[in-house]
Amino acid sequence: MSGGIFVKRYDDPERCSTAAAHHAWLTSLDAGVRLPRLLATDAQRLIFERLPGHTPTVADLPRVAATLGRLHAAAHERELHAARLHQPHTTTTGLVIPDFTDPRRAALHRAAAVAGTDAAAVDALLDRPGLPAAFYKDPNVRNYLVDGEDIAVVDFDDLTLAPFGYDLAGLLVTASMTYGRLDEPTLADCVDAYRAAVAPQQCRPVDLHQFAELHHLLTLRYVGLNGYRHPWPAVRPWPDPFPPR
């Protein structure tokens, strides 16, 4: 960081340009959610305005969930109502958003083998083309900034299609792995805030619980790193929907 800017550096120029395209598309949604302005780019750098704020605490999570819901609702209403989860979607700006299934299937199968989770159960969650489409944008709790009542969204490296509730599950998993088991009132407030924002789309508890297990599998290798102090099985706030074989 330097003065009023934040510089994100990339080894891969294509990844740099893709992140810039993600930022532009999310900004175009006009969802009433704050994103940092992209001030300049070159082949391997994105230069953003530096936003004030801190990583959300547990008390901030319901407002973060509402922010996430507003982004999802705007994306679905403006563009993704025509998307199908099992197919890449090309936006009106020409951005190709990868499908939900292919980008994560191999990684989930590898992690499932390590965790003793049934790969067929993983596939059953991935292959659900009939669900309405929102998107995945790395919902790690560290990818939000809280400044008073303002919630900003940062980090634009990854973007795929995803069902409603998938990123909410990721937020809850990463927050639990960071801060410890979340209490029932906090969980209920997060779900209520998200559902109010995405209405009339649904985020059923069974889907939320199952999506959380996908995020668990994908974060297994980070336990003990990047602030993830608590393994998900030790802080999971509901019964495991995929008991070990």
What CATH number has the domain bearing residue 108? 3.90.1200
12 lies in a domain? no
User: How many folded domains does the chain comprise?
Assistant: 1
Q: With cut-offs at 50, 70 and 90, classify the pLDDT of residue 243.
A: low
Q: 244 pLDDT exceeds 60?
A: no
pLDDT digits (tens, 9 = 90+) for 125-139: 888 888 999 999 999
pLDDT digits (tens, 9 = 90+) for 198-233: 998 878 899 999 999 999 999 999 999 989 999 999
Return the axis-axis angle of helices 166-179 and 184-198, rounded to nearest 10°.
Answer: 150
Integer distance in angstroms from the first to the last C-alpha of the chain? Answer: 47
244 lies in a domain? no
For the chain, percent of residues with pLDDT exceeding 70: 98
177 lies in a domain? yes
DSSP string spanning 73-89?
A: HHHHHHTGGG--TTS-E
Q: 2 pLDDT exceeds 50?
A: no
Beta bridge partners of 5: 2, 49
46 lies in a domain? no
pTM: 0.95
Side-chain-side CA neighbours of 55 within 13 Å: the count stands at 14
- In the chain, the amino acid numbered 116 is G
For the chain, percent of residues with pLDDT exceeding 90: 85
CA dihedral (74, 78, 79, 81) positive or negative? positive
136 lies in a domain? yes
Range of the domain at 217: 51-235
Q: Across all residues in the chain, what is the average pLDDT?
A: 94
38 lies in a domain? no
70 lies in a domain? yes
> Could you give the 3-state DSSP secondary structure of residue 147?
strand
Q: 14-28, 108-122, 144-158: which has the minimum mean pLDDT?
A: 108-122
- At 119 the pLDDT is 87
Q: 90 pLDDT exceeds 70?
A: yes
Burial environment of residue 163 by CB neighbours within 10 A (0 to 12, 13 to 18, 19 or more): buried
18 lies in a domain? no
